[in-house]
Amino acid sequence: MRTLRIDWTACDGRGLCAELLPELLAADDWGYPVIRGAVEVPAPLAGHAERAVRACPRRALRLA
């Protein structure tokens, strides 16, 4: 299983990742992502997580 990670120094709080992966991420009041529950990405959400990682304009989201 892959793990979702956020590079807080690179993130600028656009909230795109939370829109693309609402099952695992939420946006705080300033648009920064908040991980919901575990950071391990379940297999059924792997494709959605990869899409969110690719869409991140600051490359702050990654799968490890």
Q: Please say if the pLDDT value at position 1 is more than 90.
A: no
Give me the half-sphere count of Cα atoms (radius 13 Å) on the Cβ side of residue 20: 17
Spell out the domain ranges in the chain: 2-63
Q: Please say if the pLDDT value at position 37 is more than 80.
A: no
Q: What is the CATH number of domain 2-63?
A: 3.30.70.20
pTM of the model: 0.89
Task: Let me know: does 49 contact 11? Beta carbons within 8 Å.
Answer: no
Encode pLDDT of 8-34 as tens digits. 999 999 999 999 999 999 999 999 999
Tokens 């909230």 locate to: 15
Strand order in the sheet with 2-6: 40-41, 2-6, 61-63
Gap between the Cα atoms of 21 and 47, Å rounded: 10
